[in-house]
Amino acid sequence: MSKHAIPLPNGRKINWPTAVVLFFLHIGAIAALFMFSWKAFLVAVALHWVAVGWGISLGYHRLHTHQSYQCPQWLQYFFAVCGTLTLEGGPMFWVGTHRVHHAHSDEAGDPHSPRLSGAFWSHMGWILFGETHHNDTALMAKFAPDLAKHKFYWWLNTYHWVPVTVTGLALLAFGGLPMFLWAFCFRIVYGLHVTWLINSATHIFGRRRFETSDDSRNSFILAVLTFGEGWHNNHHAHQTSARHGLAWYELDISWLTLKLMKATGLAWGIRTAKLESQVLERKAA
Ligand SMILES: [Zn+2]
Ligand SMILES: [Zn+2]
């Protein structure tokens, strides 16, 4: 697997289309604060759970990248569509980038390592600078060959911006400006930053339960904000475990959702790590 197809910190050329879109989304997110409405806020919360909770955490991450459980094909496709609503790119791009992160965590080749390239790069610099290959589906197929077998994922990866654009126009048309600012601009900006904090903050701040070779850490606050993704040190130690919060007090909303999916027959073959496997436990670094 070539590790040079993923953006690395040597690219200092700003990615203008991405930068302009992110700039206007941030303006919209700030404007939302001056147009508060409970209805718009609650729609934003619901869409955040669908996009980040289902799309990123249960979909792109635990299902598509790590195959930590199985579910019906239609649900796999549905979760992938939910993932595109975050504006974090299509499934093959996301999965490919994340697999390279695990293959080279905090070593040469990691697309977003604070140890190698600093906190800003690991948070959003890697998105803003250089070529991010969002739409280069043929290239991303090398990193996600399992997804590349599905025509649907090829289409969705190339046109990942279509579902989110349609959603934005529908929110504006049927809900008006406050609904658009909250459920589109604010919701996307918030979702991007909490996801990016997993790449930046949980490789810098927090407690390490497992002595992994990378700098990954566990963060309760980020676990609450990301439906359980904040137990990032647990995850690096047990990458194929569908359960990231391993102790009863480690809130993992995606794990609770998965238990509900299992009870209703929507998920099976669920892989989990046991807390007793923590032979290398140590105090916070
Ligand atoms: Zn990591
Ligand atoms: Zn992972």
pLDDT of 193-234, one tens digit each?
A: 999 999 999 999 999 999 999 999 999 999 999 999 999 999
| Cα three-residue angle 141-5-104, rounded to 5 degrees | 95
Q: How far is the CA of 203 from the centre of ligand 1 (A)?
A: 6
Q: How far is the CA of 37 from the centre of ligand 1 (A)?
A: 36
Residue 1 in this model has a pLDDT that exceeds 50: no
Contact between 88 and 229 (Cβ < 8 Å): no
Contact between 245 and 252 (Cβ < 8 Å): yes
Q: What share of the chain is helix, strand, coil (3-state, %, to 5)?
A: 60, 0, 40
Shortest-distance ligand to the CA of residue 101: 1
Mean pLDDT of 83-94: 96
What DSSP designation does 14 have? B
Looking up tokens 């609904």 gives: 179
Q: How far is the CA of 52 from the centre of ligand 2 (A)?
A: 14
Residue 134 in this model has a pLDDT that exceeds 70: no
The tokens for 85 are 């609503």
Shortest-distance ligand to the CA of residue 240: 2
Cα–chain center distance at 49: 12
Amino acid 24: pLDDT: 98
Q: How far is the CA of 59 from the centre of ligand 1 (A)?
A: 17
Grouping H, G, I as helix, E, B as strand and the rest as coil, residue 67 is coil
Amino acid 6: pLDDT: 61
Q: What is the distance between the alpha carbons of residues 113 and 122, in angstroms, rounded to a whole number?
A: 5
Tell me what the pLDDT averaged over the chain comes to: 91
Q: How far is the CA of 63 from the centre of ligand 2 (A)?
A: 10
In 3D space, the residue among 231, 249, 248, 227 whose CA is nearest the CA of residue 239 turns out to be: 231
Q: Distances from the Cα of 121 to the Cαs of 97, 101, 135, 145, in angstroms?
A: 15, 14, 21, 27
Within 10 angstroms of residue 176's Cβ, the number of other Cβ atoms is: 14
Cα–chain center distance at 182: 20
Q: What is the pLDDT of residues 168-203, one digit of tens each?
A: 999 999 999 999 999 999 999 999 999 999 999 999
Amino acid 196: pLDDT: 97
Q: What is the DSSP string of 129-192?
A: BS---TT-HHHHHTT-HHHHT-HHHHHHHHTTHHHHHHHHHHHHHHHHHHHHIIIIIIHHHHHH
In 3D space, the residue among 249, 205, 255 whose CA is nearest the CA of residue 228 turns out to be: 255
Shortest-distance ligand to the CA of residue 57: 2
* % of the chain beyond a pLDDT of 70: 90
Residue type, 55: G
Residue type, 61: H
Side-chain half-sphere exposure of 221, counting CA atoms within 13 A: 7
Amino acid 285: pLDDT: 38
Contact between 65 and 99 (Cβ < 8 Å): yes
Q: How far is the CA of 247 from the centre of ligand 1 (A)?
A: 20
pLDDT band for position 109 (cuts 50, 70, 90): confident
Amino acid 13: pLDDT: 81
Residue type, 186: F
Q: How far is the CA of 214 from the centre of ligand 1 (A)?
A: 8
In 3D space, the residue among 249, 254, 195 whose CA is nearest the CA of residue 220 turns out to be: 249
Q: What is the distance between the alpha carbons of residues 264 and 157, in angstroms, rounded to a whole number?
A: 30
Q: How far is the CA of 156 from the centre of ligand 1 (A)?
A: 25
Shortest-distance ligand to the CA of residue 204: 1
Q: What is the pLDDT of residues 242-271, one digit of tens each?
A: 999 999 999 999 999 999 999 999 999 999
Amino acid 10: pLDDT: 53
Amino acid 15: pLDDT: 87
Mean pLDDT of 6-32: 85
Residue 284 in this model has a pLDDT that exceeds 50: no
